[in-house]
Amino acid sequence: MENEIIVGLDIGTTKIACFVGMRAENGKVKILGFGKTDSKGVEHGVVKSVTDTAESIRRAVSEAADQADVDIDEVWVGIAGQHIKSRPSHGSVMIPVEHRLIEQEDVDRLISEQYNTMLEPGEEIIHIFPQQYIVDREPLSREISPVGVVGKNLEADFHMVTANVQNLQYIKYAVQDAGLHIKGVVLEPVASAKAVLDDSDRDAGVAMVDIGGGTTDIAIFHDGIIRHTEVLPLAGNAITNDIREGCNILKKQAESLKVKFGSCLTSAVSENDVISIPGIRSQAPREIYVKTLAGIINARTRMILEQVDYSIKLSGFHKKLIAGVTLTGGGAQLKNIKELCELITTTDTRIGVPNEHLSPDSVSFADLAHPMYATGIGLVLYGLEQAEAEHEDSFEDDVKTEADNNDGKVDIFANMDMEPAADPTPDSDDETSEKQPKKVKKEKKEKKGDNFEKTIGGFFKKLFDEGIDD
């Protein structure tokens, strides 16, 4: 797991960005390479043209690979779009009689069975988030894991996220046409939250709102658990289009005006300030009042934030957001959007940037510490966490296998400053001693899953039963 490199690919409506990163010594993510290009073939977070999207992916990935000096063959991909849906789910499993305690495999079985839930035609599950576990009809607190609890029945409430199968296929085709494999698909607000939130935010209760180019993504956390997700079809591009039509200018000019001179509050700009827009060819320059620009931006941004507020209230957690609202994504750079959000949601708001989890020795650190890169950096963080979890599971499996190969015995003196006692040597004339190894194996088989009996318990039992030769 040491120095494992993870690649995140953010396929957005306005940009496609690739991030190559690894875990830094300080625990943060170190970005080794970064590539970005204009997004082609994507609308509202959904791939429309596989060919155009694949070409944009190739350019972004090539730039990131060259900067990081690595070969890239698999990526973690973010997914958004209006086709994303969420729903509650509930499941239960019986604990096998041979399991004295609930084991991890029981929890995994409960979660895996949720993938058999009946869905609408054309839907596929991309995330299942446990909300609360229940053992023998007794709910467990968040601090207690079901693993190790005594019980006969394990239940859980889940938050399930689904995506349209066809849209998933289009992403897969575009990535494959770019010569890459998909390591995993991650809901974009889940990835963004990794980059701009910390444990205290999730515990206190927070609504993370990622305003991108084509969609506005929402993820609500409370008590450290993701409780609600939603993707709205309105975002930054809608504001740009409103400016283009309202001021009768080119789309590039509208985007530039929005970023450089735009404000979400008309009261924050002067009545007399004027912006001069160059005319096309021989046309005279066009003059636009900053107040007019602010009015256009305010109207559309207010509409977006009102839908966000409605979604938060619909989740039922609007009175539990002690940490308030965190705005991120490219739309979070709009001037005075924080104040407008507080006005509409009546909730404390901050702008979330990924620099909190970004190592200072990352390439282009100053440029990457920007709300628009939250999703890409979050994908790298998500991939690192998954890789570390897999490594930990693999290590535990190796230890378990080694114990099994040693008939349940482990060297308990390995980390002590003393020599272990010699293994008792069975008397060749003692019939009971000759049968003892078979007895140990039988107990191991009958008590499968009991780590204590298979390891230290097995060692001491044999030690006391047979004695140690001097």
Give CA–CA dist 380/219, Å, rounded.
18
Q: What is the DSSP letter of 195?
A: H
What's residue 281's pLDDT? 77
What is the domain class of 85-163 according to CATH?
alpha beta
pLDDT of residue 415 exceeding 80: no
**pLDDT for the residue numbered 25:** 87
pLDDT band at residue 280 under the 50/70/90 scheme: confident
Say yes or no to pLDDT of 463 above 50.
no
Check if the beta carbon of residue 8 is closer than 8 Å to that of residue 383: yes
Quick one: what percent of the chain has pLDDT higher than 90? Answer: 73
User: Can you give the pLDDT at residue 282?
Assistant: 77
pLDDT in tens, 397-411: 555 545 455 554 444
Phi, psi of 3 (to 5 degrees): 60, 25
The token duo for 154 is 């394990």
Contact 11, 171 (CB under 8 A): yes
Laid out side by side, the sheet with 225-232 consists of: 225-232, 216-222, 206-211, 325-328, 349-351
Residue spans per domain, the chain:
1-73+358-405, 85-163, 198-352, 408-466
Instruction: Give residue 416's pLDDT.
Output: 41
In whole angstroms, what is the distance from residue 192 CA to residue 294 CA? 28
Confidence of residue 393 (pLDDT cuts 50, 70, 90): low
Band (265; pLDDT cuts 50, 70, 90): very high
Beta bridge partners of 122: none
pLDDT in tens, 105-140: 999 999 999 999 999 899 999 999 999 999 999 999
pLDDT band at residue 45 using 50, 70 and 90 as cut-offs:
confident
Res. 392 pLDDT band, cuts 50 70 90 = confident
DSSP 27-76: SSEEEEEEEEEE--SEETTEE--HHHHHHHHHHHHHHHHHHHT----EEE
Residue with tokens 């658990």, as numbered in its chain: 225
Checking if the pLDDT of 464 tops 50, the result is: no
- State which H helix or E strand residue 95 sits in: none
> What confidence tier does 337 reach under pLDDT thresholds 50, 70, 90?
very high
Q: What are phi and psi of 123, to 5 degrees?
A: -105, 150
pLDDT grade, residue 414 (50/70/90)?
very low
Mean per-residue pLDDT over the chain, rounded: 86
| Chain centroid to CA 161 | 12
Residue 311 phi/psi, 5-degree rounding, is -65, -40
pLDDT tens track for 67-87: 999 999 999 999 998 899 999
**In this structure, CATH architecture of domain 1-73+358-405:** 2-Layer Sandwich (3.30)
Beta-bridge mates of residue 160: 87, 128
140 contacts 149 by C-beta, under 8 angstroms: yes
Least confident of 180-194, 254-268, 426-440: 426-440
SS3 300: helix
If you ran DSSP here, which 8-state letter would residue 423 be given? P
Q: Rounded to 10 degrees, what is the CA torsion of 133, 137, 141, 145?
A: -50
**Strands of 95-141, DSSP E:** 123-135, 138-139
Are 29 and 380 spatial neighbours (Cβ–Cβ below 8 Å)?
A: yes
Percent of residues, the chain, with pLDDT higher than 70: 83
Indicate whether 461 pLDDT > 70: no
Quick one: which H or E segment has residue 243? Answer: helix 236-247
The CATH T-level fold of domain 198-352 is: Nucleotidyltransferase; domain 5 (3.30.420)
**Cβ count near 279 (within 10 Å):** 11
Instruction: Tell me the residue length of the chain.
Output: 470
Distance CA 44, CA 213 (A): 8
What's the average model confidence in pLDDT over 249-267? 94
CA distance 106 to 122: 29
Same CATH topology for 1-73+358-405 and 85-163? Answer: no
CA dihedral 395, 399, 400, 402 (to 10 degrees): 130
15-43 pLDDT, tens digit each: 999 999 999 988 899 999 999 999 999 99
The pLDDT value given to residue 406: 52
* 183-210 residue pLDDT tens: 999 999 999 999 999 999 999 999 999 9
Give the model's pLDDT for residue 438. Answer: 40
Categorize the per-residue pLDDT at 390 as very low, low, confident or very high, splitting at 50, 70 and 90: confident
Question: Which one, of 84, 38, 76, 7, lies nearest residue 213 by Cα?
Answer: 38
